Amino acid sequence: RKEVEQDPGPFNVPEGATVAFNCTYSNSASQSFFWYRQDCRKEPKLLMSVYSSGNEDGRFTAQLNRASQYISLLIRDSKLSDSATYLCVVNNAGNMLTFGGGTRLMVKP
């Protein structure tokens, strides 16, 4: 079993739609959680951290469920520019990050 698992997609949604991605992690001692965004043939960039109480940044909402060991990302009012691959990332110890395989989102006009 992979340490961090994501549905690879692609998720094809129309502009304005709401879309949600889930990610599961296997290490119950994981300490920190993040979503990174990666555009095609580009480097990953931090989208947002995920806090235990849940957090929101504009159209993006991240949730953490420690009991079930999953993380979610909700995108409201999807834009064409949201088309990218979203990487779920878990920090198990120190600065050792474990990446999921990514979920590809395609927003259509």
Partner 1 sequence: NAGVTQTPKFQVLKTGQSMTLQCAQDMNHEYMSWYRQDPGMGLRLIHYSVGAGITDQGEVPNGYNVSRSTTEDFPLRLLSAAPSQTSVYFCASSHGQGSSYNEQFFGPGTRLTVL
Please tell me the number of Cα atoms within 13 Å of 92 on its side-chain side: 12
Question: Residue 102 — φ and ψ, nearest 5°?
Answer: 95, 150
In the set 22, 26, 32, 69, which binds partner 1 (CB under 8 A)? 32
In the set 26, 49, 55, 72, which binds partner 1 (CB under 8 A)? 49
Q: Is 32 exposed, middle or buried (0-12, 13-18, 19+ CB in 10 A)?
A: middle
Binding residue count for partner 1, defined by CB under 8 A: 23
* Residue 95 in contact with partner 1, rule: CB under 8 A: yes
Binding residues vs partner 1 (CB under 8 A) = 4, 8, 31-32, 34, 41-46, 49, 87, 91, 93-97, 99-102
